[in-house]
Amino acid sequence: MAPLYGWGPRGRRLRGFAPHGHWRTLTFVGALRHDRLAAPCVFDGPINGRCFRAYVEQQLVPVLEPGDIVIMDNLGSHKSAAIRQMIRAAGARLWYLPPYSPDLNPIEQAFAKIKHWMRAAQKRTVEETWQYLGSLVPSLQPDECSNYFANAGYASVKT
């Protein structure tokens, strides 16, 4: 990812490296808990219904606990009956956000921070990107994760 902004002395052109040409799409998905980012996964390419179903089955469901609440936006691949069934079979509840409401999705704030770090690192290969992303996931602190929920308007019943 290339940085969006830069800094340089006034009156002098800022020069930086931003590759051009064919971009590769990497899709990062994860589950935000009140204390950590769980079930992180990177797909090489855009995500579709089949990929998301595999993610839910192999990564998300094993870390779900009875009573968990899974909050998802209205992406078409999120709404399949099989995905709803897998999440509910794990004992979790499934909530869908209203349309066009990323401000109510706490993981969007975590993703924004991760994207900021990724742009600053300027990794250029897929392998470097995966490794760096893997090092970023544990750096999200528990209080930071709970603040994302509070900022999105969710109150915690745990004290």
Give the pLDDT score at 2: 65
How do strand 93-96 and strand 69-72 relate by DSSP bridges? parallel
d(CA 82, CA 78): 10
d(CA 19, CA 129): 15
- Domain 26-151 is found in CATH 3.20.20.70: no
What are the residue ranges spanned by the domains of the chain? Answer: 26-151
Return the amino acid letter for 82: A
d(CA 109, CA 129): 20
Q: Find tokens 């250029």 and name the residue.
A: 124
Give the pLDDT score at 13: 84
Give the pLDDT score at 20: 62
Mean pLDDT by 10 residues, the chain (159 residues): 74 74 82 95 92 97 96 91 96 94 93 92 86 92 94 75
